[in-house]
Amino acid sequence: MLRPERMSKVSVTGSKRVIDDVIEATYEHHSLHVTDYDERYEGFAPGESLDGAETVNEKLVTVRSLESILDVEGDEVDGARPLGDEELEAELDDVRERVNELNDRRDELQTEIRDRQEEIDRMEPFADLGVELDLLGGYDSLEVVVGEAKPEAVEATLADADGIDAFEVFAGSDVVAIFARPADGADEGVLQDSLVGVDIALLEVPEADASPSEYVAELERERESLRNDLDEVEAELAAVKEETAGFLLRAEEQLTIEAEKKQAPLSFATTENAFIAEGWVPTETFPDLQAAVADAVGDHAEVEELERASFTPDGDHHTEAVADGGGAGGAEVATAAGDDAEREAATDGGHATHGGDDPPVVQNNGSAAGPFELLVQGFGRPKYSEFDPTLLVFLTFPLMFGFMIGDVGYGVLYAAIGAFLYRNYEGTFRELGAVALWAGGFTVLFGIYFGIDVFGYHAYQLLPGEVHWPVDGKGLSPADIDWALSFLVASVLFGLAHLNVGHVLSFVSNYQQHDLKHALYEGGSWLLILNGAWVWIFSQHLPGPKPDFLFDSFSILTFGAVSFAGFPVAVGYAAIAAIALGVVLLAIGEPPELAEVLSPIVNVISYARIMAVLLAKGGMALAVNLLAFGAYIGEGGEGSFHFIFSAEYLEYIRNHPEEYELVFAGITTAFDPASIGLVGIVALVGGIVVAVVGHIVVLALGVTSAGIQAVRLEYVEFFGNFYEGGGDAYLPFGYDRQYTADED
């Protein structure tokens, strides 16, 4: 669908005595996109949360905290079932007590383990030094320094120090202990002063009764004991998770639903006795919502369709009124509630509106095109008044992707990856899987068109008999240069058609939103320039600068079915007139855009990247095959590349240069099946590894190159003509249950 689903603005007005029942009914119906009251109307104020909201939120915070502690991820539930309030309350208290106790114990153990580790790290240098701690201090005539430094640098520095009479350096692997006797009259701390120029990290000598090595060993034993205790606690927490994960997920869902219901009045307009809630619903669901509320509370509340959103906004007027007075029923309910002040303050027959909010967007593209909404939303969700380009992206993105890769082997792999994502995941990954399936399918189709291309090689050349495919590759072999040029023309023609669709949508949108004059200025001008320019390029007017392949490509691409020598000269003159008219319309309607008058030509040429990626990907696959298997050119030096496979065949090609031309002798050609040797086996295995790894790289680059370029052409060249994005998502009041079920 090129338009989003039609939306209606509705109000739900009623007495506060039935607000709980109304919230319950609208929540279960799950269709009302509630808009916030903006306090612009005298006599109304935003509502307050229902009684018990704070308690529910506290429980919800507790449940989510427990889920975080236990690392509950959401796949631990075996089925949905009801969860009563009493059951939730009792079990939640029990789980909270058990989990908090175990978690506190785990935190204590982790802290103690960390403390032991820090002490070990502090003591290990002294254990490595091998000097008892009590010998590293307490002297009257000696100064002692311990640190991490190179012994040679320390000794060289102290040997030249004036304030040191004698010194001794004891070294471990990473630490040194320096004992020095200061000279007579030297200041206290002369040893440290003497080491200022040395790269040394000083260490504080710890206090311990045991030797450093014994102390470290004792700390390590304590650490291991603590780790064992921690493992036991972790095991207990894992057991609690297995036992309670399902309950916690059900509790979170149940409390989330209760919290949303109790906080719903925060978006309502209220008085002392009545409330008004406004929002958007899909137009076709409005009667069902109206019936649901009536079934719940009878005539104590009324649901009205205030406006039906139009797809053709004109300034601030984007909706169509559908009811006289807008809300007389709301006034009657207010009066029944005994609130005269409300009726006086309400506007338009007793109904206070929430302001001119835009309708949310519900994209409705069906099961086939639906996954491509992911690509559109990557640019921006369509505004309600815009065309939704999802269907067009569905029709063009797989086409461009498949053309740029054009390989049966890669296409099958892309489709297999897509099928795996589609079957095993939900949400975004499932949609990506569907996109990959379509892209892979078109890649296979174009791979067949390009000569049954399989991982960069034309499979028809391996078939027995006189089998020949009409398309001989992608233009990478000596016989296929005309095909490469033809693919350039095909890319340009696709771009021309693609941009025409964009400009037509721009024309229609401007006509619907404004008038024919605006449509001609803002859309028609570009259509005239675009088509006039390219019709002239493909005409016989001034044929000299125009290369022959512009016209020959039509016959090549259609296997001779279509012959095109160019449009007549008269058509070329008409095209020039169309360009001139388009420029005049643009100058009258949008003068600043005259600076971009050449963009129709430039943007179409931008589609040449389709051909460029096609040849680049094909060239990479060809390079992998050449490196692994080698290749030669067929008889007479004409035709496509052929694999070599074996040393025997390579020798035959080299001995017949008049028939074959050797392109490259690949790695596997060192393998001789007649006399299998170590070198040959290594070469065969190495060639296969190179082929597999190389094609995996090409497969990945295909996604990044073809995928990104196709998306870029959609976003920049195509969307730029008619699409802005920035619409609001449709977020209906309600909840899709996964883990719980209604007690009914």
Same domain, 559 and 523: yes
Please give the pLDDT value at position 460: 58
State the Rg of the chain over Cα: 39
Structural domain includes residue 355: no
Same domain, 602 and 620: no
How many residues in total does the chain contain? 744
pLDDT band, residue 708 (cuts 50/70/90): very high
253-267, 369-383, 483-497, 641-655: the lowest-pLDDT one:
641-655
Same domain, 488 and 567: yes
Structural domain includes residue 272: yes
| pLDDT, tens only, 96-129 | 999 999 999 999 999 999 999 998 988 888 888 8
Are 674 and 648 spatial neighbours (Cβ–Cβ below 8 Å)? yes
Structural domain includes residue 468: no
Domain boundary among 180, 198, 216: 216
How far apart are alpha carbons 541 and 575 in whole angstroms? 10
Same domain, 533 and 578: yes
Structural domain includes residue 14: yes
| Positive or negative torsion for Cα 186, 188, 192, 193 | negative
Q: Estimate the crossing angle of helix 85-129 against helix 212-263, to 10 degrees.
A: 160
Structural domain includes residue 279: yes
629 vs 401, higher pLDDT? 401
Structural domain includes residue 263: no
Please give the pLDDT value at position 674: 56
Domain boundary among 573, 606, 639: 606
Same domain, 622 and 693: yes
Same domain, 159 and 143: yes
Please give the pLDDT value at position 522: 86
Same domain, 591 and 622: no
Percent of the chain with pLDDT over 90: 49
Are 528 and 579 spatial neighbours (Cβ–Cβ below 8 Å)? yes
Are 337 and 312 spatial neighbours (Cβ–Cβ below 8 Å)? no
Domain boundary among 216, 249, 281: 216
Burial of 246 (0-12, 13-18, 19+ CB in 10 A): middle
Are 301 and 47 spatial neighbours (Cβ–Cβ below 8 Å)? no
Count of domains forming the chain = 4
| pLDDT, tens only, 232-241 | 999 999 999 9
28 pLDDT above the threshold of 90: yes
Q: Which amino acid is at 268?
A: F
Same domain, 277 and 204: no
Largest distance between two CA atoms of the chain:
113
How far apart are alpha carbons 719 and 726 in whole angstroms? 13
Structure tokens at 77: 């539930």
Range of the domain at 656: 613-703
Same domain, 534 and 649: no
Q: Which residues pair with 642 in a beta bridge?
A: 632
605 pLDDT above the threshold of 80: yes
Q: Which three-class secondary structure state does DSSP give residue 117?
A: helix
289-303, 304-318, 646-660, 715-729: the lowest-pLDDT one:
304-318
Same domain, 306 and 273: yes
**CATH number reported for the structural domain that contains residue 285 in this entry:** 3.30.70.2170
What is the β-pairing status of strands 274-282 and 7-15? antiparallel
Q: Give the global pTM.
A: 0.75
Same domain, 593 and 620: no
Q: Which three-class secondary structure state does DSSP give residue 546?
A: coil
439 pLDDT above the threshold of 90: yes
* Phi, psi (degrees; rounded to nearest 5) at 92: -65, -45
184-193, 261-270, 547-556, 654-663: the lowest-pLDDT one:
654-663
Structural domain includes residue 644: yes
Structure letter (DSSP) for residue 266: G
How far apart are alpha carbons 393 and 327 in whole angstroms? 42
How far apart are alpha carbons 662 and 8 in whole angstroms? 72
**CATH number reported for the structural domain that contains residue 187 in this entry:** 3.30.70
Q: What is the phi-psi region of residue 306: left when phi exceeds 0, alpha when psi lies from -120 to 50, beta otherwise?
A: alpha
| pLDDT, tens only, 619-655 | 898 889 888 888 777 765 555 667 776 677 777 778 7
Structural domain includes residue 246: no
User: Beta-carbon neighbour count of residue 182 at 10 Å?
Assistant: 21
Q: Which amino acid is at 26?
A: T
Same domain, 301 and 340: yes
150 vs 672, higher pLDDT? 150
